[in-house]
Amino acid sequence: MRIWLTASWVVLSAILIAAAAYSQDANGPFGPVPPAQRKELAKRLIEYTDAFRGRNWDSLYDLAADVNKKRSDGKRISRKTFGRLMKDEEDDWYQLLKFTPIRTEITPAGQFDVYGCGEFLSGEEKPERVAVAVRAVREHDAWFFTTWDYFDPRQPCSNLSDPAWKPSHHLRLEYLPEVVCVIGVCTL
């Protein structure tokens, strides 16, 4: 009888642990995002990646957060100026070619850092595929993005699936690098 109770306890514990793990994963890669907004965020992330891959700076302007569209004097950067800045600084390394979201963390400021497997050119013959982050913000009742960044040193995508993994605070996710010198004081 004692062995049966112990075996039952072990089986019950395993079921409860599995159920808890499943419920944390049931939200998919956008866990902390309100459920009604997850589908829109996924769609906008695809558009964001498509804009980079296609070098479609007009589309990227429509997806860029307000922080990327204001100059240091408070005036708004026009679509034309934004496109010119992106084109002038058009480096292959900064093209996010593909992005597969894996997990999302909410920042203390209420922004959402979406971590996933990203593919971008980095001077190599073929695109590099490593863990990256995209910062999503909710503005004007829609999803917009500040920028994306990769970890230095590079991290494999598989790290993001580890429940013990913690995000790095060394990522630069505040602004698009191409517009920093226009929206703020640039010191080189």
| pLDDT for res 89 | 62
| pLDDT for res 26 | 55
- The pLDDT-based confidence of 181 (bands split at 50, 70, 90) is very low
| pLDDT for res 8 | 39
Compare 145 and 147 and report the one with higher pLDDT: 145
| pLDDT for res 186 | 46
Q: Which pTM does this prediction carry?
A: 0.77
Q: Is the pLDDT of residue 5 over 60?
A: no
- For residue 99, the cross-strand partners are 118
What is the pLDDT averaged over residues 2-18? 39
For 55-114, the pLDDT digits (tens) are 899 999 999 998 888 877 778 889 998 888 887 765 555 678 899 999 999 988 899 999
For 39-54, the pLDDT digits (tens) are 999 999 999 999 988 8
For 114-144, the pLDDT digits (tens) are 999 999 877 767 888 899 999 999 999 999 9
| pLDDT for res 14 | 36
Omega of the bond prior to 108 within 30 degrees of 0, cis? no
| pLDDT for res 25 | 53
Q: Is the pLDDT of residue 18 over 70?
A: no
For 73-84, the pLDDT digits (tens) are 778 889 998 888
Q: Is the pLDDT of residue 170 over 70?
A: no
Strands 112-120 and 96-106: antiparallel
CA atoms within 13 A on the CB side of 152: 5
